[in-house]
Structure 1
Amino acid sequence: MSVLSAEQTQGSKRRRNLKMADRRAGFGLLAPAGIVMLAVTIFPIVYSIIMSFNNINLTTNGFEFQSNGINNYKTVFGSPVFWHSAWFTVYYAIVTVFVELFFGLLIALAINNVKKLQGLSISIMLIPWALITVISAQMWDYIYNGVYGVLNAVAAGLHLIGQPVTWLGQNTSAVIAMMVADIWKTTPFVVIILLSGLQMIAQDYYEAARIDGANSWQLFWKVTFPLLRGSIALAGLFRILQAFGVFDLPFVLTQGGPGTATESLAILGYRTLFEDLHFGVGAAVAVSTVILILLACLIFLSGFRSMVEEEAA
């Protein structure tokens, strides 16, 4: 028995040593990717936070840091321009995300119920998402153009307008026009996530509900929607992250105008950093934007979780 126990002990030690060797090898293989992630992700974040607490001047030797505490944040939060950009970013994100989730769910349900040409439908639907945002923004700029735009030509042909309208030259129409362009481009992203969630739902649930006499609406509300909540939350979370960081679409389409009507926090940070060269204040804008994004994601997830718990109760 003692010999067997000694052999078992040695065997367990060898297994532990092998596991430790495997772990070390795994960490060694992951180390290059981890270093790259630290270099391109963690370091810029930490550096931006440091910049936000300093007054930064350009010298012949590079940047000169002078600590000024929270003065940059006082400048940011005391500026009406920042609060206007924050308000625009928030309601832009709320409107576009909810509209995209609504239409994305409708399109995903339609494609999921198509038995023929489903692959073709998905391919056609993905064309807006596949386009580079700069290109799609230029296309929408052509559509909205007040002189030769397609929208004016169609609206005039339908006798909806009597004279050309400068859609991107008025505050309200510029905001709506940008939202339409964003919804057109990013709804396919939501569709793909929701469609994958729909196709993962087992047909047994629907068959059991039909046996119990459920109609189409009850099948959706009692079976499809509850089982699709995770996909909806995932799509909403990704879209909130993207919508709060919107930059390329308004930068190309409206340049943040007219005035500051479509100036997002990302554009405000860009102008503060690279046009005004106020690096500390610009970093404070960037850090504040990240905090706002995190709060928005937490609010969305907590609200979604509360809705799920209420329905479960």
Structure 2
Amino acid sequence: MGPNNVDYLSSVTKQAEKLRIDGNNNFKKDRFGAAIDAYTEAITLCPDVPVYWTNRALCHLKRNDWTRVEEDSRQAIKLDNSLIKAHYMLGLALVQRQEFVKGVSELEKALDLDKGAHPKGQMVKEIRQELAKAKYYEWEHSYTKRSWELQNLKEACESALKEKHFLEHVEEFIEDDTAHLEQLEALGRVFNKVAEDDMPTEVPDYLCCRITLDIFCDPVITPSGLTYERAVILNHLDKVGKFDPVTREPLDPSQLIPNLAIKEAVQAFLDKHGWAYKDIIERSASS
């Protein structure tokens, strides 16, 4: 590559960067159309720079233009699969299209990347909140479909029992309705049992933080064997004192160990009882 080519590429790169800065300034002023124009010009000059794509995707997100959010996020991921924001925004776009399984997968990818790249997880809280929403919407969508199917099946079974009962009355002159009523009651119990997992109840105590009484997201265990939500116990150690709030024994943040068994138990509970994600959403919104 000759000197002229190097100078040209350097000039193009500088021009694209200037356009990115212009786009950023417009974005800060909520001038999303102007920001999109600037990022688009930068992309035209340097299409292999992923940040230009994620910046433009964020502008589209602000406009609720989810099709373009998805397009730009996918292009950014093609260029760099480790981009947290690209996976995050793609996840949001897929959830908007009710592609919940794929959306959840992208949000989980963003969460894993953020934890790996940033020990303190700069976007963890935001991603977890959106992930909980996505999983709740996924459950709600499935619940609505299941409820409709169960109701139709129940009505069909009841209709069949009633028809059988009617025929027996006509053909065999049976006057006792006891057996028929018992069959209907048994049928009701069967369908109620099937629907139990979808009915909100109390979350078991062992799956909840001792301080907040909320279901765990990131449980950690202390040397004394007690489990707390990581953010909550760290806040206690920072603002109250370096001791276990229950046992009062000395406790340092370095002594906290992830409680993987409880984390797996929480996930198993949430997989079975998707309604519980609503508690996580409400907690995140109020904190």
Interval containing the TM-score (normalised by the shorter chain) = under 0.3
Bigger share in helix: 1
TM-score (norm 2): 0.24
TM-score, normalized by length of structure 1?
Answer: 0.23
Larger radius of gyration: 2
